[in-house]
Each structure stands twice: as structure tokens, then as C-alpha cells.
Chains A and B, each alone.
Chain A
């Protein structure tokens, strides 16, 4: 694989993660637990859409095949999506699950962008420098909620514990790497995720200890394969909804 193709793939990963998580968060518009939080969730979704657009646009420029950011978001099928499976998990309008999903992902995203700010690739470092300000806020906002729910009422403690237990099997996968990472690491463009795993765990644990939450025992099935396009069943439904218009009216400009 060429360095260029590796970088395209890398940008798609970041963009897919952002756009799919944005999709999940945007499902909350009009359904939040209180108006203030409804607005906050939309803000996070908007940040993520912005990140997705930046990285899709860069991938489109690099591949130079006449595809646009929207072609990449709306005309690829599930097997071509390379997001981590965590971000596509449904929350069934359970606020704790939505917040936990964003929290676990944002902690990684924060560490990743912090390193990518110094990437040898100027566009990647520029996009990362913009994104990190947003992601710091997501970690803070979600972390704040985790603590409140964990140390709130008996019910909220139980519910957020359940969310954590349900989502934990998708966290190992956050650190999966392949050939793409090796090439970009070598070029000084990418990040070695294995080096971030401990920092991530520390960050997560710090919030969990304030929230009186304990990390579940690892055991049982661990999700794997998002970066190879191996997803859970949920992604297909997300894409069916998200891509419906451009696919139903292939010649239309909106």
C-alpha cells in the first residue's frame, strides 16, 4: 500500500467515526432530557459533522477521482465504512448510553488529535488542531455527566453501570491497527494507538472513580474489525437512513 492510499484510508476512518457518531447524537434532537442538554448534544453532533467534512474532503482531494465529501459519506456501502463499531451502537434513547458512548470515544479522539496536531502532514495537523478544541469540550461535558449519573441516584448509578457494561466490549477495538497505521507511523503522519491505550485507560478511570464506576471484567466477546469494514448489524440501518436521498435520486443536486 502506498503512503497516499494509507493516508486516504486513515482520513476515512476519522471521518466515518465522526459522521456515524454525529448521526447517533443527532437522533436526539428534539428528544433530550431537558432543553439545555438537547442543545448540548446537537453542539457535539455539529462539531463531529464538521470534523467528518474536513477529513472526507481531504480524502477526496488525495484520491483525486472526482468524488466529493458527500460521495464518500453517502455513496459507500457498509463494508467500505471503516469506523470503530462503538460509535454505531444504538442507545434506544437512553441518555446514559448515549453519553457513555460519546465519552469512551471522545477520550480516544482527544488523545489521538493531540498527537496528530504534530503530524508531518499539514492538513492532518491543521484539521486536528481545530478538532481538539471541540473534543476537549466533549470529554468535559460527557465526563461531567458520567460523574453525575454515576454518583447521582441509585437508579442512575445502575443505569450508567449497565451502559458501561454493554459498551465495554467495543473498547478494545478502539486500539486495533493494521498496515495503514504502520505506514503512517513510519511517515510521521499517524499515531501509534498502542501507546495511547494506557493514557486512555487512565483518563477513563479517573472519571469513573469520581463516578463510583468500576471497569467491567474483560471476558466474553470482544468486538473487532471496524477498520476492516466488519461491522455490527446497526451500521446497515444507519446508512439506509442516511444515504436514502442521494441513492434514490442519483442525479439530483441538493
Chain B
């Protein structure tokens, strides 16, 4: 690697598309620190009026589950269908309450 290759770390960019909605992952930028990551994110991902708020997070700070975790992490919810409203069928003859 040539010595003029000072690689800045990666930051993940999250954009809130409009007030009230959740931040969504937009992509990533390189930057030496948070302040510049934010400026870079604004310039790269805000070129088309894409949101009202931005987060930048050091990519290394994100701990992700691994594919091997899929089972233990997500399967247990499989048999708890009672967490979903459509699990509860209203008995016949009773007026629907929204």
C-alpha cells in the first residue's frame, strides 16, 4: 500500500426521511471523525433533499448478529403468534371494535 493512502475509517449513515419516521440506513462514508463524517454524509447522501435528520455511526461500533445467530435470535418468536393482533378472531355475533 502506498504511503499517501491515509485511509479514514468508515461511518455508517442513517437518514430520517421525514419528521416522525424512523432513521434508515443510507450507506457509508469515510471520515477521520464524527464531525467530518456528518458533513460528508450531508454532501453525499443529501444531494436530493433526502431527509430531515442524519446520524453517523462508526462502522466498528456496530455489533451485528451473525448468520449463525438467525435460529436462536429469531425463531423463538415463531410460536408466539399471539403477539400479532390478527391472532385474535372475534367470536361471531360480536360487533367489530375497530
- In their complex, do chains A and B touch, with some C-beta pair under 8 Å? yes
Q: How far is the CB of B82 from chain A (nearest CB, A)?
A: 48
Interface of A is mostly: helix
Beyond A36-B44, A39-B44, A43-B47, is A144–B39 a contact (Cβ under 8 Å)? yes
Complexed CA–CA distance, A144 and B60 (Å): 24
Complexed CA–CA distance, A36 and B13 (Å): 13
B57 lies within 8 A of chain A by Cβ: no
Q: How far is the CB of B61 from chain A (nearest CB, A)?
A: 19
Please, which residues of chain A bring their CB within 8 A of the CB of B35?
A: 144
Q: Mark A122-141, 1 if CB is under 8 A from B, else 0.
A: 00000000000000010011
Complexed CA–CA distance, A40 and B42 (Å): 9
Interface size, B (range): 10 to 19
Whether A144 and B47, one on each chain, are in contact in the complex, defined by CB atoms closer than 8 angstroms, is no
Q: Mark B29-60, 1 if CB is under 8 A from A, else 0.
A: 11100011001101110010000000000000
Q: Mark A37-59, 1 if CB is under 8 A from B, else 0.
A: 10110010000000000000000
Please, which residues of chain B bring their CB within 8 A of the CB of A39?
A: 40, 43-44, 47
Whether B30 and A34, one on each chain, are in contact in the complex, defined by CB atoms closer than 8 angstroms, is yes
Please, which residues of chain A bring their CB within 8 A of the CB of B39?
A: 40, 140-141, 144
Nearest B residue to A140 via CB reads B39
25 contacts between A and B (CB under 8 A): A34-B8, A34-B30, A36-B29, A36-B30, A36-B31, A36-B40, A36-B43, A36-B44, A37-B40, A39-B40, A39-B43, A39-B44, A39-B47, A40-B39, A40-B40, A40-B43, A43-B43, A43-B47, A137-B42, A140-B39, A141-B39, A144-B35, A144-B36, A144-B39, A148-B36
List 17 extra interface pairs beyond A34-B30, A36-B43, A43-B43, CB under 8 A. Answer: A34-B8, A36-B30, A36-B31, A36-B40, A36-B44, A37-B40, A39-B43, A39-B44, A39-B47, A40-B39, A40-B40, A40-B43, A137-B42, A140-B39, A141-B39, A144-B39, A148-B36
Taking beta carbons and an 8 Å cutoff, which residues of B are in contact with A? 8, 29-31, 35-36, 39-40, 42-44, 47
